[in-house]
Chains A and B, each alone.
Chain A
Amino acid sequence: MKIDVLIIGGGPAGLKSASLLESLGYKILLIEKESTVGGHIKYWDRLFPDSTQAKEIVGNLIKDVSQSAILTDTSVESIAKQQDGIYNTKLSSGATVLSSTILLTTGFSLFPAEKKEEYGYGIYDGVITNALLESFFKKEGKITIDNPSKIGFVHCVGSRDEKAGNKQCSKVCCVTAVKQAIELKEIFPKAEIYCFYMDLRMFGRGYEDIYLKAQAEYGIRFIRGRVSEVEGSVNGKVIVKAEDTLSSKPIKITLDLLVLMCGMIANKSNDKLMESLSIKMGDDGFIHLENPITDIGKTNIQGIFAAGSILGPKTLPDVIGESSTVAFAIDKYLKNINN
């Protein structure tokens, strides 16, 4: 099969650039290793800051791409560049794809919470992750939350943590924690909710508004101090220890439920592929861009582009904007080589 663009990864970045490249008249193929496209947000219930239904967004993204161009349950076995500059890709299905360009949109991984053993995920039942909480909001039945009276959120789990190997800020967890705290408060109005934070980075439009709403309307309390350790109590609750840095005193609280805000980390499962293509990676594990300001999405290898959170943690609107930019960069590149 000979096509113009092979898109690897069917998350928001892959879907958005696929639809734009198709409307520009290019023949594309989008492959996704999971059985459905949509990426991480298909596991999310509602999105910040306006509580948009995630499935609506995924639906809109999918409907703009022709179904014949999407291959699910498919991954890449190997990619080789031919003499004529065409990329020869072997798929897990055994098929071979020839493409003029490749667009990498394989996204990020969620930080594995069990790595921060001191937070007790996988040890105490009362400790869950942000992803599990979303599955609770989606009523998938993975966990049950039984009328908790005290709930805590730990910000920056695996983010801004050199010891955990991730220096970067994951950008979206601050506002996600505020969103999830409000949603929990709506389900359990009598619960007291505490957020343990280092900084609150409410950078986007409308984010500060929901932070203010969480404080003033929902009475969610924010304690500045990174949780140092979590231990189990005799009655099945968890005891959280931190420093209340604004009063310079150690603080302790017993909670029924503790939610860990796992950050975005580089998706290591593609490292071999990147190495075989000689794509330059940053120290943080995300793809390095030669010129990240004006040439967004252009990797160090001609004809290979990248978009979305494979280039670092970002919000959904950022991903959509970036994917559109990269689609036009690919358009320009293809026009150049075709002339």
Chain B
Amino acid sequence: MEFGFQLYKEQKIDLDIVQNSIFKEISHSQPDILKCIGCGCCTATCTGSKFTPTEFRKAILLLERGLNDKAYDLLKGCMLCGKCSLVCPRGINTRDIILRFKKLYNQN
């Protein structure tokens, strides 16, 4: 019987057991990912976010916390237009990170 509530595994982030190998691999080849200051300009300017749950800022944060599936969901709607890389104050190569992530995600 479905009671309408369930326990979510991702309710809490436990950095002791986090498996963020994809994040580590990206940060090795594209260290830009480490420079994020969480300002949210990318999400605010995203053309995809108007119609789909696309959030670059949150996606790379979740990636660092090892929540790869959730991060993938937030980048599904990305059309690689690159507006986020234009507005990023840290000059992060957002498109490159998204492409690298999708490649690694699909490999795993």
A residues lining the B interface (CB < 8 Å): 194, 200, 212, 215-216, 219, 221, 224, 244, 246-247, 249-254
Contact of B61 among A219, A247, A254 (CB under 8 A): A247
Which residues of chain B are near A216, meaning CB under 8 Å?
31-32, 34-35
In the complex, which residue of chain B has the Cβ closest to the Cβ of A214? B34
A219 and B38 within 8 A (CB): no
Q: Is B27 an interface residue (CB 8 A)?
A: yes
Q: Give the residues in chain A near B32, CB-CB below 8 Å.
A: 216
Main secondary structure of the interface of B (DSSP, over half): helix
List chain B residues, Cβ under 8 A from A252. Answer: 12-16
Given contacts A251-B15, A253-B15, contact A246 B58 (CB under 8 A): yes
Q: A221-B64, A244-B65 are in contact. Are A212 and B35 (CB under 8 A)?
A: yes
Most interface-central of A215, A246, A247, A253 (chain B CB within 10 A)? A247
| B1: min CB distance to chain A, Å | 29
CA distance A216 to B27 in the complex (A): 9
List B22-81 residues whose CB lies under 8 Å from chain A: 27, 31-32, 34-35, 37-38, 57-58, 61-62, 64-65
Alpha-carbon distance A194/B35, docked complex (angstroms): 14
Chain B: interface size category: 20 to 34
Residue of A nearest to B58 (CB): A247
Is B2 an interface residue when CB atoms closer than 8 A count as contact? no
Alpha-carbon separation in the docked complex, A200 to B39 (Å): 12
Query: Whole-angstrom distance from the CB of B43 to the nearest CB of chain A?
Result: 11
Instruction: Identify the 7 closest CB pairs spanning chains A and B, nearest first.
Output: A253-B15, A251-B13, A250-B12, A254-B16, A246-B38, A215-B34, A249-B13
**Chain B residue contacts of A221, Cβ below 8 A:** 64
Interface residues of B (CB under 8 A from A): 10-16, 27, 31-32, 34-35, 37-38, 57-58, 61-62, 64-65, 90
Considering only CB atoms, which chain B residue lies closest to A247 in the complex? Answer: B61
Most chain A CB within a 10 A radius of its CB, from B14, B16, B90: B16
Q: Would you give the shortest CB distance from B72 to chain A, in whole angstroms? A: 15
Q: How far is the CB of B85 from chain A (nearest CB, A)?
A: 16
CA separation between A221 and B20, bound complex, in Å? 13
Name the residue on A nearest B8 (C-beta). A249
Instruction: Give bound CA distance, A224 to B39, whole Å.
Output: 11
**What residues of chain B lie closer than 8 Å to A249, measured between beta carbons?**
10-13, 65
If A250-B13, A251-B15, A252-B12 touch, whether A219 touches B27 (CB-CB below 8 Å) is yes
Q: Is B34 a contact of A244 with CB atoms below 8 Å?
A: no
Closest to B27 in A: A219
A321: min CB distance to chain B, Å: 29
Q: How far is the CB of B89 from chain A (nearest CB, A)?
A: 10
Neighbour of B16 across the interface among A200, A219, A253, CB < 8 A: A253
A252 to B11, CA, bound (A): 12
Please give the distance in Å from A184's CB to the nearest CB on chain B: 17
Task: Name 8 A/B residue pairs within 8 A (Cβ), A-sorted.
Answer: A215-B34, A215-B35, A244-B13, A246-B58, A246-B61, A247-B62, A249-B10, A251-B12
